[in-house]
Amino acid sequence: MKMDKAKQAITAAIDLFGQQGFDNTSTQSIAKHAGIGNATLFKYFESKDVLIREAYLAAKKDLIACIKQGLDPTLSFEPMLRAIWLNFFSWCLEKPMMYSFVCQIASSRFHDAQVEELVDSEMLFFKMAISSAKSNQQIADLPLEVIQGTIMAFINLAVQFHTEEPIVGESVFYNLMLNSLEINQTQKEHL
């Protein structure tokens, strides 16, 4: 029973934070949305900050599970990247409040290094694939953070434009992202 109420609170928090942001969401509204009392909420989470961090961990775990769903880690880099892209893109569209919440966290004081370490450990196979692709000159020899940032930027653009202007397909942004990652040193010198 204890876990059920905690999960209800986390789900409600993600929903409301995704819709209204952290500052505009009270613990009372989270408790009400979860169908529990405010005192019960604080029985499981000592503060709103703790609830936010736990909700972030839950959202990231959900995202990782979705990204890895049906993924064969032995795929070569481009097919693996495409599978991860499609899984991530689908997650963003299927869970817009969770996506909004994760985006808010990324640029807030709640961004948690421990959660990111968990993500890093769960996505180690992808980091190794990036390393191998760089060694084989399949993608630009850029720092891992730049490659990951590029992928995230294009996913965010694809989600934004798909939501606002569905005529622009995700594949347009995928191909733009691929092109940006495949620029080698010789091409950079000509730009």
What is the DSSP code string of 116-163? Answer: HHHHHHHTHHHHHHHHHHHHTTSS----HHHHHHHHHHHHHHHHHHHH
Q: 95-104, 109-118, 125-134, 174-183: which has the highest mean pLDDT?
A: 95-104
CA 158 to chain centre: 14
Are 6 and 79 part of one and the same domain? no
Q: Is the model more confident about 170 or about 64?
A: 64
| Eight-class DSSP state of 123 | T
Q: Is the pLDDT of residue 187 over 60?
A: no
User: Of 6-10, 108-112, 129-133, where does mean pLDDT reach its minimum?
Assistant: 108-112
Mean pLDDT for 23-29 is 94
Please check whether residues 118 and 183 belong to one and the same domain.
yes
pTM score of the predicted model: 0.84
Model confidence at 163: pLDDT above 70:
yes
Q: What is the pLDDT of residues 46-90, one digit of tens each?
A: 999 999 999 999 998 999 999 989 888 788 888 888 999 999 999
Same domain, yes or no, for 23 and 87? no
Q: Calculate mean pLDDT across residues 26-33.
A: 95
The verdict on 162 and 105 lying in the same domain is yes
pLDDT-derived band at 3 (thresholds 50, 70, 90) equals: low
- On whether both 63 and 10 belong to a single domain, the answer is no
Q: Are 4 and 94 contained in the same domain?
A: no
The whole domain housing 10 covers: 1-46
Q: Are 60 and 118 in contact (CB under 8 A)?
A: yes
| pLDDT given at position 1 | 43
Domain count, the chain: 2
State yes or no: pLDDT of 186 exceeds 80: no
Q: Domain of 22: which CATH number?
A: 1.10.10.60
Can you say how many angstroms the Cα of residue 134 is from the centroid of all Cα atoms in its chain? 23
- pLDDT, residue 190, reads 40
Q: Are residues 123 and 74 in the same domain?
A: yes
